[in-house]
Amino acid sequence: MKSLTDLTFDNRFARLGDAFSTPVLPEPIAEPRLVVVSPAAMTLLDLEPREADSEEFAQVFAGHKLWSEAEPRAMVYSGHQFGSYNPRLGDGRGLLLGEVVNDAGEYWDLHLKGAGQTPYSRMGDGRAVLRSSIREFLASEHLHALGIPSSRALCVTASSTPVWREKQESAAMLLRLAQSHVRFGHFEYFYYTRQHDLLKQLGEHVLSCHFPACLAQPEPYLAMFREVVERNAELIAHWQAYGFCHGVMNSDNMSILGITFDYGPYAFLDDFDANHICNHSDDTGRYSFSNQVPIAQWNLAALGQALTPLVPLDALRETLNLFLPLYQAHYLDLMRRRLGWLSSDVGDEGLIQRLLQLMQSSAVDYSNFFRELGASTPDQALARLREDFIDLKGFDAWACDYRARSARDGADQAQRRARMHAANPKYILRNYLAQQVIDAAEQGDYGPVRELHAVLSRPFDEQPGFERYAQRPPEWGKHLEISCSS
């Protein structure tokens, strides 16, 4: 275990030079206070958990102090935002402080979000508010605990520095960890600025640092694209199976590693609604829940376009066509686990579709349905769940088919329960829960956010005494409007 000052840096991205990022120092925020820390994320850096108790910890993660080996830089990238190409984005309010190598030899980017203005800030103030920093922190660590690939979060620091959004709020910083911060938009930037030598250099960096196995393939860049397609198919399958809506699937928010990245107005579904739009600013529903599948493919096509100087177009197209079948296979696999099935059957897809339609028309709570389905025998569970449906005839027909289908996977209820509870979380980061702890934190009370984070770090465990966190939202919590403002 290490102390904060012991970290070992090896800043590979910084060494790519000024065409890829610009040196910028963090602008500290005033009177820093540690809001919440993730012990699980600390272990990624081999950090001794007690380190978080020191004065210095909050100072470092509020931009007041830096390691001598850190080389803070703002990365340049572009991207398609809501379908339109924006030629220059970049880190407008976050800095890559450096890359830490842990004892296992893994590299972790330290990215300080809310660190002040950079050459890429455009009209922005370079800051992040407490509310959005807490939301990203909770989601990063919760998705990871659910088994959904994600960037990670080490801590949030609050301050007395005022920032203006729709009203006056206060600045915060989030320390994000990821094995890479390279986005689809990084490749797009060098493609559209016609700097194809730099595009190649970026590709070589990604290959050697993140996809070394692809280097042994006859066409390394094509192998890399295939890897990105596969990882994204698996990622989106997880989002759809667990009811996660990202909200801003712009190509600059898509990670080359296929992890959930750049959290904004995200939401987990409460009542099942395939058309749910979690981003209040998304007027057309481009990023609605069910659109996430075609949009991921659209973003992969944008990445493929940016790789055309490196890989023949036909080969990219052929690889892109793997996305949907790969997605579908992963999705079915996850849904079978959620429904308690070990085997696969040709009729499964139809049964899943019918269930979702029934849930949609009766506004059934998406997460709690699956948890309850595994809690007792199929007969008992279905008898109880029946109360939540309006179309009883439809539900009864489905339940009959579900019972028959489940019988084929063995009748041992203890095994079925253990298996289903390991796939169906009891605790989900619902928007109203996030809102409650944000309200408290804005008043200076960090107890609730710490408790919620602890509960959501073990989402599959029963956790007696904390059942209130598994409840459906109250009426006010169903209609929270979360916008891009952060």
Feature table: binding site for Mg(2+) = 253, 262
Residue of 46, 91, 252, 365 with catalytic role? 252
Residue 260 CB neighbour total at 10 angstroms: 23
Kindly state the DSSP code that residue 301 receives in the 8-state scheme.
H
Restricting to residues 168-187, which ones interact with Mg ion according to CB under 5 A?
none
Cα–Cα distance measured from residue 187 to residue 378, given in angstroms and rounded to the nearest whole number: 50
Restricting to residues 249-288, which ones interact with ligand AMP according to CB under 6 A?
253, 262, 264
Q: CA nearest 254: which of 131, 80, 76?
A: 80
- CB closer to ligand AMP, 92 vs 448: 92
Restricting to residues 122-141, which ones interact with ligand AMP according to CB under 6 A?
124-127
- CB closer to ligand AMP, 87 vs 410: 87
For residue 330, the partner it binds in ligand AMP, Mg ion, none, with Cβ less than 5 to 8 A by kind, is: none
- CB closer to ligand AMP, 322 vs 484: 484
Q: The tokens of 78 are what?
A: 């572009």
Residue 333 among the catalytic residues: no
Restricting to residues 225-254, which ones interact with ligand AMP according to CB under 6 A?
248, 253
Contacts (Cβ under 8 Å, ≥6 apart) of 146: 238, 242, 425, 459
Cα–Cα distance measured from residue 339 to residue 403, given in angstroms and rounded to the nearest whole number: 11
Contacts (Cβ under 8 Å, ≥6 apart) of 125: 93, 117, 163, 164
The HSE-up count of residue 467 (CA atoms within 13 Å, CB side) is 3
Q: Given candidates 121, 305, 328, 360, which one binds ligand AMP under the rule CB under 6 A?
A: 121
Q: Residue 155 forms beta bridges with which residues?
A: 37, 175
- CB closer to Mg ion, 247 vs 374: 247
Q: Is 262 in the site for Mg ion (CB under 5 A)?
A: yes
Asked whether 206 and 228 are in contact (CB, 8 A), the reply is: no
User: Taking CB positions, which residue lies at the least distance from Mg ion?
Assistant: 262
Kindly state the DSSP code that residue 170 receives in the 8-state scheme.
E
Which range binds ligand AMP by CB under 6 A, 103-111, 118-126, 326-334, 447-455?
A: 118-126
Which range binds ligand AMP by CB under 6 A, 87-95, 222-230, 275-283, 415-423?
A: 87-95
- The secondary structure of 428-440, three-state, reads CCCHHHHHHHHHH
Q: The tokens of 217 are what?
A: 């393939």
Annotated binding site for ATP: 90, 92-93, 113, 125-126, 176, 183, 262
Annotated binding site: 90, 92-93, 113, 125-126, 176, 183, 253, 262
Q: Which residues bind ligand AMP (CB under 6 A)?
A: 89-93, 120-121, 124-127, 248, 253, 262, 264, 484
Positions touching Mg ion (CB under 5 A) are: 253, 262
Residues marked as catalytic: 252
